Structure 1
Amino acid sequence: MQPTAPHLRSMRALRTIFALTLREMSTTYGKSALGYIWALLEPVAALALMSVVFSLVMRQPALGTNFPLFFASGYLVFQIYSGVGNKIATAVQFNRPLLEFPAVTAVDAIFARFLLNFLTQLLVIYVVLAGIIIIYDLQVHLNLPNILISLAMAGIFTLGVGSINCYLFVAIPSYSTVWAIANRPMFIISGVFFMFDDVPQPFRDILWYNPLVHVVGQMRSGIYPSYDAEYVSITYVVGLGLLCLALGLLLLQRNLRQAMDR
């Protein structure tokens, strides 16, 4: 039985994504393990710094008793949005010469970058959390389903926002600077340093519309089983992420070539 045309296109796309992923791995992390070690050391250094600074002014974190674990529960999942999102946003610029070949599309480049960097972040999260629990000898009962849901929420939302930015970075070159400036407060208002429950009204209701607050809250409900993050809406985050992804892919499919030729 001969494979159908859609099946052939799917197989061709998978091979292209795999090849782009290998290229991305080589150029981003190099041929040695040093690149991956740096990917691990960066969040460890950030968590250590935050823990030292806040331990000087606070007796204990807003949740639990361990500063590194508290900050890790917010910072690591935020890094998916920040680090992976930036990689996706520059996928076309990074692979621009390859996009001249008919077999390579912008969608292939986006999914290749997302796949490698998202999986790398998952490995970093696993190693850092395990390291904190072992080093501090913490008696933690993780809720794995809640953690996996949080990671999925972060991945879908990041892929959606990154896809839109991938088009806008090419279509409007100055937009990358505007986005970098506008996006800086996200680290502060996403609940990495504080608990959403502690925010006074009416700011709490406004902050609820930040999808990353839901992602961080869901992650903390997985690391701290006694924490009930009732405000988290999985539907809101996933729905917004899928909407952004659909819009981003539509813009890339219809208008990217025109934007690249300007």
Structure 2
Amino acid sequence: MFRSQVQRKSRLRSGFQILELVFHVAIRNLRKTNGNAVLGLALSIFQSLMMVLVMFALFHLLGVRRIAIRGDFLLYVMSGVFMFMTHVKTIGAVAGADGPSSPMMMHSPMNPIISIAAAALSALYQQTLAAGVILFFYHTAFAPITIEDPVGVLGMHLLSWFSGIGIGMVFLSVKPWQPETATIATSLYQRINMIASGKMLVANGTPESIRSMFDWNPLFHVIDQSRGFIFLNYGPRYTSIDYPIYFALTCMMIGLMAEFFTRQHASASWNKGR
């Protein structure tokens, strides 16, 4: 008579509630770094723009402009920078998501998977907006842009994001056990990708001895394949789309298994002694 009755929810309703929660957590992540949402997005655009200008100037100073693919040289630079920024920002966002011992996990129905999904979506939104604004500005103010296969380029953009999620989940699974080590490893991987991503190289014109140093990196494959979709006269011969997909799925499975194991042993007192 006095027993509380729990109202069962349909799967469809539960799914929409989870999506709504992911949306609100993603908005929280966007506003976390800056209280002003518009200013935070403007800073993301400015970071990407500065990276493009620095890479453009570096190409000129090093005198390597001649190795670029035949076509718009600045578009060639942007193709590498946008994929790189999306990849490393996603890694940082996912690796910094709330873990099983976070105070946020005490509020039902919050869980680490929702936190990871929200962090990844917020990173994708920021970098997609930044790339879209910069490309639109360049197209209208300086030179018309022609992209051979826009759908393929969008697919590579999403693949750089997806591979960043997988790698970020591996770092996130280490974080509750060794927070300092995970933070250093995440930062180190992001810095290494400044060179290891191969955004300054054209895979078809790079000797095998040099190309072998970049083949392990999924971002190297994504950037080279994206240039095949952007430029009419370029067809990637030494990179593939399959490798980044399998690499990301493998990292994601490792991250999910490690996160499940961590969740079984997580304790709010872990961080008290640190």
Q: Does the alignment reach a TM-score above 0.5?
A: yes
Q: Does 1:149 align with 2:155?
A: yes
Instruction: Give the C-alpha shift of residue 244 in structure 1.
Output: 1.4
Which deviates further from its counterpart, 26-35 or 169-178? 26-35
Give the stretch that moved more between structures: 158-167 or 139-148.
139-148
Aligned twin of 2:27? 22
1:59: how far off? Answer: 6.9
Tell me the number of residue pairs that the alignment of Structure 1 and Structure 2 aligns. 261
Deviates more, 1:209-218 or 1:2-11: 2-11
Give the conservation status (yes or no) of the 8 Å contact 1:167–1:256: no
Match status 1:250 vs 2:257: yes
Please report the RMSD computed on the Cα atoms of aligned residues, expressed in angstroms: 2.5
Q: Aligned runs of 1:40-189 on 2, under 5 Å?
A: 40-58=45-63, 60-61=65-66, 62-64=68-70, 66-92=72-98, 96-138=102-144, 140-173=146-179, 174-189=181-196
- For residues 194 and 128 of structure 2, the distance between their equivalents in structure 1, rounded to whole angstroms, comes to 19
Aligned-partner Cα distance in 2 for 1:87–1:149: 20
Task: Decide whether the 8 Å contact of 2:150 with 2:229 is kept in 1.
Answer: yes
Distance 1:59 1:193 in 2: 9
Q: How far 1:32 sits from its partner (Å)?
A: 4.4
Give unmatched runs, 5+ long, in structure 1: none
Aligned counterparts of 2:211 and 2:64: Cα–Cα separation in 1:
24
Partner of 2:4: none
Partner of 2:238: 231
Deviation at 1:30, TM superposition (A): 2.7
Which has the higher Rg, Structure 1 or Structure 2?
A: 2
Work out whether 1:203 is the aligned partner of 2:210. yes
Contact 2:90 2:123 in 1 (8 A): yes
Q: What is residue 3 of structure 2 aligned with on the other side?
A: none
> Could you tell me how far apart the structure 1 residues matched to 2:37 and 2:109 are?
29
Displacement after TM superposition at 1:260 (Å):
4.5
What SS does structure 2 have at the residue aligned with 1:185? helix
8 A contact 2:91–2:164 mirrored in 1: yes
Deviation at 1:165, TM superposition (A): 1.3
Tell me the amino acid that sits aligned with residue 189 of structure 1: A
Unaligned runs of 5+ in 2: 1-6
CA–CA separation in structure 2 for the residues paired with 1:132 and 1:64: 18
The CA deviation string for residues 85-128 of structure 1, in whole angstroms up to 9 with x for no partner, is: 10110102699221122311000001011112112211111222
Q: Partner amino acid for 1:143?
A: D
Q: Distance in 2 between matches of 1:166 and 1:175?
A: 7
Relative to structure 1, is the Cα distance of residues 52 and 224 closer, same or farther in structure 2, using a 3 angstrom cutoff? same
1-side partners of 2:31 and 2:211: how far apart? 44
